[in-house]
Chain A
Amino acid sequence: MLIEVKNLRKEFAVGGILFQAQRETVKAVDGVSFSIKAGTSLGLVGESGSGKTTVAKTMLRLHEPTAGEFHFDGQDVFALPRVEMRKLRRRIQIVHQNPNASLHPRMTVMAQIKRPLQIQGIGDRTTYENQVLDMLNRVGLNPEHARRFPHEFSGGQKQRIAVARALITAPEFVALDEPTSALDVSVQAQVLQLLRRLRSELELTYLFVSHDLGVIRYMCDEVAVMYLGQLVEHAEKPKLFANPLHPYTQSLLSVVPIPDPTMRHRDRKMLTGEIPSPKNPPSGCRFHTRCPHVMAHCKTDEPKMKEVESGHRVACHLYE
């Protein structure tokens, strides 16, 4: 396993700007474990506030973890001192959702893609520019784009630049945080196709964070479903889509709009209510407040993640 995350936790302190006593902790990620095989993609899917982005950012130590471990190729990432961590960043990279925020508005494309090479000391001054031009070509941009600034590009092109910058250090693992959510569907298709091609050409391993089950299905080999900071189900893609076990996954799959009017009258497992606040999550199983199959002990006992068949784990009292 290239990636092994064990019992990852991340808490944020919120509020209490004036009075310490009013400070509350939000358990954004509360005990998440998974592993990813080299060369495969894990999709992390969930609704807003489920903690999926926090998982990705904490793995990269853009947030410092509260607890847990992340082993990358045998190294304990969370234990690495600053200098070592910086060296490791060459091998693990992230692409953020919004390229308008992640690209520097006053740096040319050349300057910002070159920057990681300079920081990491990959090659030397004479080779930087050629490496950048090669990478631009790979992501479908032209050499003359190198002299321009981000505002001169469309949304899809900006995301290509962000991808180029992430891949310039030849990383093995890339976390993609909703990389196409800000894009229109026709442009999303271009970027998704690019990401699939790059994965096979460069033998990359992806953690693909998205709220869009269609995108996850197109991009990933395995899928993990998050709800309120925890994983509720994790399976190989065909198993998850053909046979979702957790009531939350079942509902999610049944209500996602299908672009086919003949499917309009299918059965939908509608949920009532909305995702509760992570400041004050429900006791026991966090999904019990919305679950159609809720039982008495769901309200008190937290279900453990359990492998029900090979390559299919679920955390639900129905399967115990």
Chain B
Amino acid sequence: MTLLEIKNLHLQFNSDEGLALVLDGINLKVQKGETLGLVGESGCGKSVTGMSILQLVPTPPGEITQGEIIFDGENLLGKSTKEMREIRGRKIAMIFQDPMVSLNPVYTIGNQIAEAIDLHQPKGISSTWEGVVDSLASVQIADPASRAHNYPHQFSGGMCQRGMIAMMLSCRPSLLIADEPTTALDVTVQAQVLKVMADLQKELGMAVILITHNIGVVAETCDRVAVMYAGNIVETADVETLFENPQHPYTRGLLGSIPRADRDMNELTIIEGSVPNLTKPPQGCRFHPRCKEAMDICRQTKPTDLDLGDGHIVACHLYG
């Protein structure tokens, strides 16, 4: 069952250098309970996609010019500020890359989680506090009852991120948007946080959009993957298909360019050049200046989404 559907979303930013077309017609579906990985390099629009779902994109300079975001049958783009506030946290929650920035340094962790619970599910002081301790326990904070009285600076980076997860999940949202949740963490701690997230997701039956640039993390945690490049989703597939049988030249290049820790690699795939400036995006397919297989049509016409079967969608003229 589809929980969230993004249809033809266009978003632009008014910058000093001119109008940047940051999202150029995004189509995306998230099923109930699944983990969707949204991957791509910096500036491809993956974070902004997550933020536009919750309408956290500052307007101005940002502006959604076209499209729909349908969550649970309703278009979020038509909601008022008050209605959005009801949805944020209770139905859709989001965690960010740097927990130290997201948490308020002058309130205790417990206090901040209690605030989230109070706001959405008021149930009296003592049972709220029980909820706080329970949620800290659920993310494997040792000694949660006394740790709840700690301030963020008394927590390590990994514990802060688990605290954020506890806060976000205390209201049992049906969708969690996790924007680079483990990027600031060391690998041994990253493994702990990813495990906590996966266990809780299973328990709550919640869907997750995992926004990351780390292809390894995607392979380990996601059910489906959408690959973004310069404001477009270029390929979507279930995780096994995407890694075994990538179709878009960018996906293939990206997967081949990762130095792997589990095997020796003689050569990495090189994608020449760098990501385009989105105030002057290339005509046609935005990847064509870096594509080894670029044809004439790629320079003129934007490729449309093509379904290769089993939900494997690719936007590339090679298959059109």
Contacts and interface: CB of A to CB of B under 8 A. Distances in A.
Nearest to B42: A184
A241 B263 CA distance: 9
A183 to B, nearest CB: 9
A215 B190 CA distance: 18
Interface string B187-202: 1111110010000000
B281 interface: no
B109 to A, nearest CB: 16
Q: How large is the interface on B (under 10, 10 to 19, 20 to 34, 35 or more residues)?
A: 35 or more
A217 to B, nearest CB: 6
Interface string A205-221: 00000011111111100
B275 interface: yes
Contacts of B253: 186
Given A185-B213, A189-B269, A193-B268, A259 B260 contact: yes
A56 B270 CA distance: 29
Interface in A165-189: 184-189
Interface stretch (B61-69, B127-135, B216-224, B304-312): B216-224
A140 to B, nearest CB: 10
Interface string A238-258: 000100000000011101111
A48 B258 CA distance: 21
B189 A274 contact: yes
A189 B264 CA distance: 15
Q: A214, A264, A268 — which one has the most chain B CB atoms within 10 A of its CB?
A: A214
B268 A218 contact: yes
B139 to A, nearest CB: 14
Contact of B270 (A190, A212, A271): A190
A274 B258 contact: no
B258 A214 contact: yes
Nearest to A155: B274
Interface string B210-250: 00011111111000000000000000000110010000000
Nearest to A290: B188
A139 to B, nearest CB: 15
B142 to A, nearest CB: 9
B287 to A, nearest CB: 11
Contacts of B192: 270-272
Q: A192, A216, A217 — which one has the most chain B CB atoms within 10 A of its CB?
A: A217
B262 interface: yes
Given A187-B274, A218-B268, A261-B243, A255 B259 contact: no
B173 interface: no
Contacts of A259: 215-216, 218-219, 243, 255, 258, 260
Contacts of A190: 270-272
A262 interface: yes
A253 B262 CA distance: 8
Contacts, number: 132
A272 B239 CA distance: 28
Interface string A189-207: 1101100000000000000
Nearest to A49: B186
B152 interface: no
Nearest to A156: B274
Contact of B261 (A187, A217, A251, A268): A217
Contacts of A75: none
A268 B239 CA distance: 20
B258 A217 contact: no
A62 interface: no
Contacts of A219: 259
A260 interface: yes
A212 B259 contact: yes
Given A218-B268, A275-B186, A185 B41 contact: yes
A185 B240 contact: no
A252 B187 contact: yes
B228 to A, nearest CB: 12
B219 A260 contact: yes
Given A274-B158, A275-B186, A262 B240 contact: yes
Given A189-B268, A252-B187, A261-B220, 8 more contacts: A187-B41, A189-B269, A255-B188, A255-B190, A256-B262, A257-B220, A271-B188, A274-B186
**The 6 residue pairs across chains A and B that have the minimum distance between CB atoms:** A257-B216, A218-B259, A189-B257, A184-B41, A213-B261, A255-B191
15 contacts: A48-B186, A186-B257, A190-B271, A193-B268, A214-B260, A217-B259, A217-B264, A255-B187, A256-B187, A258-B262, A259-B215, A261-B220, A261-B243, A270-B191, A274-B159
Interface of B: 41-42, 156-159, 186-192, 195, 213-220, 239-240, 243, 253-255, 257-262, 264-265, 267-272, 274-275
